Structure 1
């Protein structure tokens, strides 16, 4: 399949890593890319286990969580010319093993989900957008056993996602098969439980994405490798599962598969998921203004254990962080068909766990 001429002018990516800072090339890496998907490693800031990152929507500030027993959240300034700028501002994240971080649309607060003990934390930011060194103003631990030989019935908060207007926060719990909806009081900086949606046993909800119309949410289930389509009432803050579909072309394939990342194109017409085990990126078509999803095809991720993916702002390129092979791969994306074709050579990055575009 030929890809259309790219209009991407290039930009930067921030890559998180599961490795300790002492490992060669580990930390927060800034990668430059051009319109053809060619990549080069620009700089690396040694940081222990920066598993996920998010950018303040109003300021040039990046927040990341350090996935360790005594969880930390860190803020850094972003400079378009020099990459990430120190010194960082750090604070306790409020729990063990933070695996995801999100920023309120206003930039006033940061939310951290903790896989290790099921804690969801609210951390305020200061006037410059950096996390408050005082740490969380609220921590909520989901019901369920904190430690368990099996994932089922143990609490593992995996993602925090604010609604577009910032009035609600959705949080997936992989161990208890639940999606929590919280109402958020921005003035007080506090969450209150609003709804709990129960998914089928053994689903393992991991990550989710909102449709641009703000009427649907897509929950990617790590353990069942399925995608749950949900209706979303943005006014009332209510989520309702309506359908479930496979993200694998052959669900019976004999490997230890687990789904990882979900991303939507800006126009809401295509959805992409990754499967670790299959080492594939699934391309889905979105129909009926977001109400239904169809699996179109899967493509090899170009490495192993695809932990995260991201689309460039113009949607012409998709990047994949392959944790198992220590590589970052690029794909041309056809906006009309949603199709992906490999672009350029893989870039070696130590145990990449997240990829975040920060350029134009």
Structure 2
């Protein structure tokens, strides 16, 4: 499992919480999973981060009552741009793959926002070009862009729905295309697409389950299918809240976290992507695993343990999907988001 051919990379770490040292961090990792922080940029509650590879630009939501979004160079330089997020407590940001826009989910009031970016990748307006509100009690938790960029899916934890919006890349406007209901009390939090583009996996924070969904790219239709528990013991009395979901680059496994159980669940993708089968549940190595992320080669998995103030590393077996603890944990104040980036080897 410790393949020395694995490349090194950079891990961007967002953090969020009422503790000293909250910042946006850049760390290096190697094939062993060892992490070393290179630079930190103090910011107010940078709880989630996305990357624009065309401009080497990071975008971070600043999760405050009056939300903001910051555009930051990859080297964490001070020349950044900030704009209003269009809502309260922004918790997720996504970058469109082809058009100059970013999307922000505001948890506090359920608003989904669209912000324009300029030729250098930075946000260019002090406010969104569009801010879409939802019903009372809505909690927008994620803006997931479809693989072809034609749709934006917004998970609504408060309403037990996934809103599907058609996106016009010229005007930068969203138009409601459809709304998908999940059973009451699920609390849909995050959604990730399978590399095939034909399926997606929805994690539910309150019911601690994963739903395998079919995705029809032509019609923009999301259809929920089989639902499986994330917890080893679904009947455990321990208070638990599911958080992150990721699919491996090879599309063979889905990984998710549970805060309370402090565990990572591994599921094998079966039925051509339509179903999930549990492989194992392992301890995350810390407390309150808010986010996980796989390296681009799929060999390492990192876990942000928000309440133990650590980032832990695991080797991933590409055949079985199983995880094995890797290097010593990295101490980071309240880590909440992880973004691994491949670093090409230096020319000889």
Q: Give runs of aligned pairs for residues 1-360 of structure 1, distance below 5 A.
A: 3-19=1-17, 23-78=19-74, 83-143=75-135, 145=136, 154-360=137-343
CA contact (8 A) 1:57 1:107 kept: no
CA contact (8 A) 1:25 1:44 kept: no
SS at match of 2:272: helix
CA contact (8 A) 1:111 1:121 kept: yes
C-alpha displacement of 1:57: 3.6
- Distance in 2 between the 1:6 and 1:168 partners? 39
CA contact (8 A) 2:145 2:151 kept: yes
- Distance in 2 between the 1:357 and 1:336 partners? 21
Over aligned residues, Cα RMSD in angstroms? Answer: 1.1
C-alpha displacement of 1:4: 4.3
Alignment match, 1:150: none
- Distance in 1 between the 2:229 and 2:10 partners? 33
Cα offsets for 1:194-248 (capped at 9, x unmatched): 0100000000000000011111111000000001111100011000111111111
Alignment match, 2:346: none
SS at match of 1:87: coil
Structure-1-length-normalised TM-score: 0.93
Gaps of 5+ in 1: 146-153
CA contact (8 A) 1:168 1:181 kept: yes
Gaps of 5+ in 2: 344-348
Structure-2-length-normalised TM-score: 0.97
C-alpha displacement of 1:288: 1.9
CA contact (8 A) 1:223 1:259 kept: yes
- Distance in 1 between the 2:143 and 2:313 partners? 27
SS at match of 2:79: strand
CA contact (8 A) 1:119 1:157 kept: yes
C-alpha displacement of 1:5: 2.2
C-alpha displacement of 1:9: 2.2
